[in-house]
Structure 1
Amino acid sequence: MPKYPPVTKFTDNVTNTLVEVANSRGITADALDFDLLSYETYYEGTVDEEWQLLKGNDLLSETTEIEIRSSTFLLRQEYEIRIHPSKPRPYLNLRFNLATDKYKSKIVALIDPKSEIPLKKGVQEWIKEAIWNKQLRHGFMIGLYDQNLDKEITRLLMKIQKEGPLTAPYRLPVGEFFPPVPPIDDKVILHYKNLKKQNNFIDGVKPGDLLLEYIFPKNGRDGRGCDGHHIAVLEPLSRHAGLIMVDDETITTEQDDDSIRFYARISGYVQRLEGVFSISQELHIESASLRDTGSIEAGIDKEISLKVKKNEANEDSIGIGVNIDVQKLNVSGTVGAHAKIQACELHIGAQTHKKTNIHVTKKANIHLHRGNLKAKEADIEILETGRVEADIVRVKKMVGGEIVARIIEVDTLYSNGRLTALESIEIQTIEGDGNNLIIDPRAIEAYQENLEAIELEIRTRTSRLQQQSKEFIAKEISFKDKNNRIKHFQERIKDAVRSGKSPMRADIVRLQQYRTEFENLKQEEERLSDENERLQRLKEELDTLYEADLHAVITHHGTYNGHTRVVFIDPKTSQEYILTPQRKATHIRLRREGDEKQLLLES
């Protein structure tokens, strides 16, 4: 290729000038390179009648950000460049590309790890020159927005010095001018949808929960690109203004400059009827199934009452696998297999499947129960092979199954029932065989937890009291050893007083320390005594719990037929006292006779 002498040009578009020179020489623009000799920045503001020369590189020193972002503001640069044939730079082989955001308001240099960047004097200036030259080739301005470029190049060189040559692409921030701020379109956020569980039928909420939010539309801000061009932003869209209507009695609102927020006044579930959002506490549905409603899990902490109205013999009111979690539940029909119910109050008008699980924190009322029920109180018309665990259980007819409760009342007991109580079992009539009537305090969860808590506290307090007593005895022995010495100091003080002299200060201090130590020991002795009394009260409380079997009673208003097994279990020793009565025995109790316990039958 012929050699051409360098040529100096003044231009406001480096790329076009390189192309013109290349065309005049019959070569491509890539065969040419240039050196930047100088550049000047000019601007024309709203009140300017002609272009103004910027002194330095800080536009904000001569105008404002508002004006720079405006469409009337004009900006340009003029460059003096020396154009010469392209040739590789010794030592430095910087391979990189420039990347920008879609507005061209931010620029990043993406450096290839294959670049050769020697840690030699002047390398920082070479890198900056290479970046500026590529910016000019791409039509970007220089000097106005890259104030941190030197710092970023230094960070790159320090990384290479510390870690060695690059092993992965490196992002070197070049700078940003005035990025536009996009407008905010108005929108509605349904926060209550995020509160519910997946596939849940209703949206349960508590007082104070954020339900809805209307975001006001907000204007954006125009920007200025790194190429000097103005960046216009669109007006925000307003599509939902005035469309949210709420029931003021159940939903309250708060407003600031950004949004209107809608909060729950009461607990319940969110519903929208005729375009109005409200919170309801009663829900009536025909049936609940995984296909039609999914699970209904609002939570028992929310005041929601659910009524399931369907009552058909061949179809479940609550279908297979459905989970229900509400405060009050009234089911007219049947509860299917693998259904899980949690409520404060429950009424089931038909029956439960043997594979249902029900937990009720207050009272459950069930017509025919075959599944598993745990409640505070349970009234059951017919218990058939199901299990009930509660504080108080009342059953009209029991056909098999199991009851574990503090107090159990059964009108008619048929066959193969297992009744375990803490305080009492009362049965009007027994009409079958193979029943077990058991007084077993430890089978009652609340009793067992209370017992274990007291036993643990006794062990803890006993261990601590033993350790503290040892420490007290050691202090007491040490104090008694000081008794003879302190008498000597007391005599010296008396002698000094009798002779009209002031006692030695050291003697007075020792006597005061002795009295303080005496008071501390006295207080500690009283505290240990209080601790010991507390420990004794706990042991007495434990002994009372251990005697729970002696305070329990089994009552039957009919006559035993010899096929009912009666068992009392000692909670302390686990010894069983078993009887199979075959006569009239209205009350059966366990009584202590000397060191032994015996079953007592009363007619």
Structure 2
Amino acid sequence: MGLFGSSKEESTISKKIRPTVIRTENVAKELVELAKKNNINTSSLDFTILEVQTYKRICKVEQVKEEVVWEEIDRDEIYKLDDVTSILNPDFQIKQVYEIEMFSKESDGDGDMFKDFHAAVGANATKCKVYLSIKEGSKVKATPNFEVEFLNYINKSKIRAGILINIFDEMLDEMVSKVSALVKVDGSLKYEKNENILIAESYEPMQTIDDDLILHFEHKKEAGENDRVDYSSRGFIKSVLKDDLLIEYVKPKKGKAGRNCRGEFMEPREPEVTHEPTFTVDETIKIVDNPDNIQYIAKENGYISLDGTAYTIKSDMDVESINFKTTGSITSGLDSDVTLSVKENDAQKDAIGNGMSVEVSEIDIKGNVGPNAKVHARRATVNGQTHGTSELRADDLTINVHKGLAIGGNIKITRLEHGTVIGNKVEVEQAMGGDIRAKDIEISVCTSHVEATASRLIEIKKLQGSENIFTIDPLLQKEKKSGLSENKAEIYELRTSINEIANEMAKYKKLINDNMSAYNEVKKKLIHYKNNGIKMPAAFINKYKQFQKMQEHLELIKEERQTKEDKLTLLTTQTASFQDNIFDARIINRDRWVGHNELVFKLVDPPIELRFTPSEGSNDEVFALVENSDGQYEIRAIKE
């Protein structure tokens, strides 16, 4: 014993065993038992394959296995078994018996040509595909019998893992040959990265499919991985579009048998049937019976409803109210053809509750729209009032009392109370403060503190207040503002480019004029040389060509300048057209002017605002932007 003693591990590693020859079906088990018997690590043992015997038999279920004799197969006949008829016969059995010699490895690794080759045999879950997994950095050196030794190394690894050899491994010879060739060329081979190589493949079973019922309409609008979850949405309405797959019944199907690389037969289990449809559908849903499934497909837009045991698609729905506790937000889509009627009309309650979102094709709201609520539809009506923080969007929008934000095409409002309205054509019966922006605006009764901005027409039937601002702005629509900005940017670029071309033209014109006499002289000499058959000097020819190139370049940039000037003219005309309509725009007051009210016309080019305040008591009705005799613009009362 040394100064500090010796460990048990050191003694077990250094211990040697006598070479032992055995016959076995399970080499791994024998190695473990031998190591345990001699109190050593299994990793310190190795073995040599002396003989491999392969056996087969046909054993029926009703037969006693001991009565059926195993029949040995010659190696040359093994591959004849590797076909579907034999291998996938459930009564067919196959096994291998190995005669091996077990012994201790050399402690220093001498004599082991694969000591630096770090690889392992692995398989997929069914053991039907077997791979040799080679670790990055593994290396081997060439030897006279490398190909034989490498094949033996792989077969030993397969046997350790319980994988049959010489069957299911037709690809192995080619793989071993390729690796051997690479080793022979350079004398060695090193793997720069991990590599998995298929070394055996048998018959993969097909999994049994249990029946299933998939309600696709339930999962139509699930939140994505990065989407924010809307806890106010209950999925109260399951909206569908024509041709949507609503429900799918997956038919049960028994799998196909297989056999793995250990020789084990893999019988698929019987499918479980627990989801057979117990519902019916009406004429709004189409049934498609396929070999693998039954599909239930929408024949029209709307929302899916279960009436008793029958699924149907409807388009109209009545609800008492929409709020967090009952329905949650309702989103069926603008193109869903869903029409929603919200019945709550108590003035003290909200038909659309706080923070709710509604998106349907059409909606009729009998009562109020609450704070932070959002309604989006093709057509919407509100018989109550909208909260100051609410938002409504619709192509066709009708509101009784409006305090929030309304955006749409044609908008009709009975009473506007400091709300905001943005549309194409807006009609307001009574405006009591607020902001209106549209192409055409019509106000039956206008009180005070109203800001109305139109691109074409503002008409007031009766004026009862003051501090109103009526504005004509031809760039009211966003797309027009965007178009003008793009126009101006392109005009600036064109003008800059035209100036640069003009400078370049002046430079080339001066060069040509300064060299014209020299050019004519060279030209005369070249004509003389040509007529007299004298070889023309290269220097003269180069000067002549240089001058011609300058003339050609000047013509090219002249053409470029003309093209850009034409485009500039077109864009300038387009810019002017943005404000052409302003001269056709009108502000009309069918009543007398009372109090202080301001008319504003916004010009595009030059970008200025003209303001005018009609005299109190004036009966002037129609106001327009006109150009006076001095060429100046002014706001003036005109005849209609």
The letter of the residue matching 2:456 is E
The letter of the residue matching 2:407 is K
The letter of the residue matching 1:601 is A
2:245 pairs with 1:210: yes
1:578 Cα deviation from its structure 2 partner: 1.7
* TM-score (normalizing by structure 2): 0.72
1:41 Cα deviation from its structure 2 partner: 2.2
Question: What is the aligned-residue identity percentage?
Answer: 26
Secondary structure at the aligned position of 2:424 is classed as strand
Q: Which residue of 1 aligns with 2:215?
A: 190
The letter of the residue matching 1:145 is F
2:398 pairs with 1:365: yes
The letter of the residue matching 1:35 is T
Counterpart of 1:284 (choices 311, 318, 329) is 318
Q: Which residue of 2 aligns with 1:41?
A: 54
Q: After superposing the two structures, state which structure 1 stretch, 379-388 or 198-207, moved more.
A: 198-207
Q: 1:20 to 1:546 in 2, by over 3 A?
A: closer
Hey, what's the Cα distance between the residues in 2 that align with 1:561 and 1:256? Answer: 76
Q: 1:459 to 1:17 in 2, by over 3 A?
A: closer
1:179 Cα deviation from its structure 2 partner: 2.9
Query: Which whole-Å deviations, capped at 9, do the CAs of 1:109-146 have from their partners, x for residues lacking one?
Result: 56677x97443425665554344334434543222133
Root-mean-square deviation over aligned CA pairs: 4.4
Does the Cα contact within 8 Å between 1:268 and 1:280 map onto a contact in 2?
yes
Hey, what's the Cα distance between the residues in 2 that align with 1:271 and 1:127? Answer: 68
2:196 pairs with 1:176: no
Q: How does 1:483-562 map to 2 (within 5 A)?
A: 543=576, 545-562=578-595
Query: Which whole-Å deviations, capped at 9, do the CAs of 1:444-494 have from their partners, x for residues lacking one?
Result: 446545666777898999999999xxxxxxxxxxxxxxxxxxxxxxxxxxx
Q: Which residue of 2 aligns with 1:517?
A: none
Does the Cα contact within 8 Å between 2:598 and 2:611 map onto a contact in 1?
no
Q: Which residue of 2 aligns with 1:79?
A: 98
* TM-score (normalizing by structure 1): 0.76
Query: Which whole-Å deviations, capped at 9, do the CAs of 1:375-429 have from their partners, x for residues lacking one?
Result: 1111001111111111111111111111111111111111111111122211122
2:414 pairs with 1:378: no
Q: 1:342 to 1:155 in 2, by over 3 A?
A: farther
2:71 pairs with 1:51: yes
Hey, what's the Cα distance between the residues in 2 that align with 1:536 and 1:422? Answer: 25
Does the Cα contact within 8 Å between 1:186 and 1:240 map onto a contact in 2?
yes
Q: Which residue of 2 aligns with 1:503?
A: none
Counterpart of 2:364 (choices 330, 336, 351) is 330
2:422 pairs with 1:389: yes
Query: Which whole-Å deviations, capped at 9, do the CAs of 1:235-292 have from their partners, x for residues lacking one?
Result: 11222234353223x2223343222223222222222222322222122222222343
Q: After superposing the two structures, state which structure 1 stretch, 82-91 or 535-544, moved more.
A: 535-544
Hey, what's the Cα distance between the residues in 1 that align with 2:250 and 2:266? Answer: 25
Hey, what's the Cα distance between the residues in 1 that align with 2:314 and 2:494? Answer: 52
Secondary structure at the aligned position of 1:269 is classed as strand
Query: Which whole-Å deviations, capped at 9, do the CAs of 1:561-602 have from their partners, x for residues lacking one?
Result: 241112222233224132232122222223322212333335
2:449 pairs with 1:413: no
Query: Which whole-Å deviations, capped at 9, do the CAs of 1:29-63 have from their partners, x for residues lacking one?
Result: 9475431123232323589997362543754x346
1:5 Cα deviation from its structure 2 partner: 6.2
Counterpart of 1:236 (choices 266, 271, 274) is 271
Secondary structure at the aligned position of 1:317 is classed as strand
Q: 1:542 to 1:5 in 2, by over 3 A?
A: closer
Q: 1:319 to 1:152 in 2, by over 3 A?
A: farther
Hey, what's the Cα distance between the residues in 2 that align with 1:365 and 1:209? Answer: 32
Q: Which residue of 2 aligns with 1:504?
A: none
The letter of the residue matching 1:219 is K
Query: Which whole-Å deviations, capped at 9, do the CAs of 1:125-169 have from their partners, x for residues lacking one?
Result: 5554344334434543222133445628967998994565x7xx7
Q: After superposing the two structures, state which structure 1 stretch, 409-418 or 47-56, moved more.
A: 47-56
Hey, what's the Cα distance between the residues in 2 that align with 1:153 and 1:315? Answer: 84
Does the Cα contact within 8 Å between 2:600 and 2:609 map onto a contact in 1?
no
The letter of the residue matching 1:190 is L
Q: How does 1:583-594 map to 2 (within 5 A)?
A: 583=617, 584-594=619-629
Unaligned segments of structure 2, at least 5 residues: 1-13, 61-67, 224-232, 501-558
The letter of the residue matching 2:364 is N
Hey, what's the Cα distance between the residues in 2 that align with 1:39 and 1:8? Answer: 13
Does the Cα contact within 8 Å between 2:596 and 2:613 map onto a contact in 1?
no
Q: After superposing the two structures, state which structure 1 stretch, 200-209 or 337-346, moved more.
A: 200-209
Unaligned segments of structure 1, at least 5 residues: 468-524
Does the Cα contact within 8 Å between 2:435 and 2:452 map onto a contact in 1?
yes
Does the Cα contact within 8 Å between 2:139 and 2:190 map onto a contact in 1?
no
Does the Cα contact within 8 Å between 2:138 and 2:191 map onto a contact in 1?
no
Does the Cα contact within 8 Å between 2:140 and 2:190 map onto a contact in 1?
no
2:266 pairs with 1:246: no
Q: Which residue of 2 aligns with 1:313?
A: 347
Counterpart of 2:84 (choices 44, 54, 65) is 65
1:20 Cα deviation from its structure 2 partner: 8.4
Hey, what's the Cα distance between the residues in 1 that align with 2:134 and 2:34? Answer: 29
